Structure 1
Amino acid sequence: MDRHQRIKQITNLFQVKNVISIKELLKQFNVSEMTIRRDLNLLSKDNIIELIPGGAILKIEAATENEEEPYLITHAEMKRTREKMRIGKKAASLIESNETLIIDIGSTTEHIARFIPEQVPVTILCYGMNILAEIHRKKNCHPILAGGYYHSDTLMFESQEGIQLIKKTRADKAFISAAGVSEELGVTTPNHYEVVTKQAALKSAKTKILTVDSSKFGVIKTAYFANLNEFDIVITDSEISEEYRDIIDKLGLELYVV
């Protein structure tokens, strides 16, 4: 992998996971610490990240208009880290001992995995590298990985074999992420390769929980995977509009606002 490819992948990782340590990047790219620090310094100079001790954090005001930079392959909406942490904490509070869970890919769902109490025994089926990295350290979490082809832009593993594993698993709860939520055009994601996996997760769970920050409501992305009424619970932050509060209420869904 040349420098251009590596910086592009590092940028994509920051758009999925807002805070990344140098140790994580060293494991991911198998290069020297000096090389990683040079890459991070370049991204810092371009106002994309802020350097912190031991790593870096995606800047909320990160530039998204400079199309001359080859590694800015998307103009992704900047992540709302504090809101997502609160959503993840609330979602984790709904988990009960000895449940089987499916945790979808995403930066919000990563916080769910992080906030699962150490003492709560659970089985978790996942297909995201960042989710697996969180749960494997918890002694009472029993992970099941639906593996396959690795998509570095979303940290997702995807394959027909992984989808079949999800279909054969029965879960108490599925925590699903999305990039867009529309009353008319449904729940969407930017990537078509996510669709079948997300649909399998929904069909395999008793309780279906949508975990999205308020900026996703009224947004439509390319790849549709579900209608809003297919979910039982929605967890979001306090900036959700009155319009979508009413829509969720009329659909009979349980709404948690954090």
Structure 2
Amino acid sequence: MARVGTLRLTDAAQALSVSSMTLRRDLATGDAVLELLGGHVMARQGKGSPYSLAGEEDVHVAAKAAAGRQAAALVEDGDAIFVDCGTTMPHLLAALPTELELTVVCYALNVATLASRRPHTRLFMLGGLFHPSSATFLSEEAMEGLKRLGIAKAFISAGGLHPERGASCANFNEVPVKQAVMAQAMRSFLLIDSSKLGQVKPAFFAPADAFKRVITEQG
């Protein structure tokens, strides 16, 4: 009969012939626990699954598109805007008139791909280490580069907005970028669909009143 129990991280790493750092990194990708089954160490996902960009693309699509149109109405010709990561931001880009002369600053691959196809848009892509779960890049050099940019309007995404706990997201690697952009931009707008209202995600990044406006499909 298989034995079921728990292991210390160092013991599990030794059983798998990997370093503790490697095991810690792999487990950090989701809500995972270690189990010992019949002498084999197994990583089991908990009830909460990790954020996946691909998994979110087909969720609340109509609401995200409507929210994107609401946000696009705030963008003016000649603006330098920051467009955050996530699955709502592509709807913002899709709703922007193609004749607008814009500078778009971003750090997400899906956003950069769409922005690069616009005929009158200058694209500034922040580089660094790629994070597959959100298709974003992050590096110290990119964070320093943000300080030299003039951003008129920042459109920020979130996995949750709570009146007391503020704006939060699922990925901790997004927090430094969001906070640095909000400190740099003249105005910051939170762009979410209404399903995010009242939700709290693990990575807090700003109080609710830090935004000029919260934009949803309802206005």
Return the TM-score normalized by structure 1.
0.63
* Cα distance between partner residues in 2 of 1:149 and 1:113: 24
Q: Structure 1 residues 156 and 191, CA, compared in 2 at 3 Å: closer, same or farther?
A: same
Partner deviation per Cα, 1:144-192 (whole Å, 9 max, x = no partner): 0011111111111111111111222121100000001111111101111
Matched ranges for 1:198-217 at <5 A: 198-217=178-197
Tell me how large the CA RMSD over aligned residues is: 1.3
Counterpart Cα distance in 1 of 2:88 and 2:146? 21
**Which ranges in structure 1 are unaligned for 5 or more consecutive residues?**
1-10, 19-57, 59-78, 239-256
- Would you say how many aligned residue pairs link Structure 1 and Structure 2? 169
Report the 3-state secondary structure (helix = DSSP H, G, I; strand = E; otherwise coil) of the residue aligned with 1:237: coil
Q: Which has the higher contact order (CA 8 A, sep 6+)?
A: 2
Identity %: 32
The equivalent of 1:193 in structure 2 is 173
**Which has more radius of gyration?**
2
* Deviation beyond 3 Å, 4+ runs, structure 1: none
Gaps of 5+ in 2: 1-50
1:12 aligns with 2:12: no
Cα shift readout 1:225-249 (whole Å, capped 9, x = no counterpart): 00010000111123xxxxxxxxxxx
2:86 equivalent in structure 1: 106
Q: What CA deviation, in whole Å up to 9, does each residue of 1:94-151 have, x standing for no partner?
A: 1101111101001111111222211000001100101111110111010000111111
1:29 corresponding residue in structure 2: none
SS in 2 for 1:107: coil
How far does the alpha carbon of each residue in 1:209-237 deviate from its partner, in whole angstroms, 9 at most, with x for none?
10011111111111110001000011112
**Contact 2:153/2:186, CA 8 A, preserved across alignment:** yes
Pick from 138, 144, 148: which aligns with 1:158? 138
More helix by share: 1
Distance in 2, Cα, partners of 1:15 & 1:114? 20
Counterpart of 1:184? 164
- In 2: Cα distance, 1:12 partner to 1:182 partner: 22
TM-score normalised over the length of structure 2: 0.74
Equivalent position SS for 1:162: helix
Identify the match of residue 146 of structure 1 among 97, 104, 126. Answer: 126
Which residue is equivalent to 2:30? Answer: none
Q: Which shows bigger deviation, 119-128 or 163-172?
A: 163-172
Q: Map 1:91-130 onto structure 2 (within 5 A).
A: 91-130=71-110
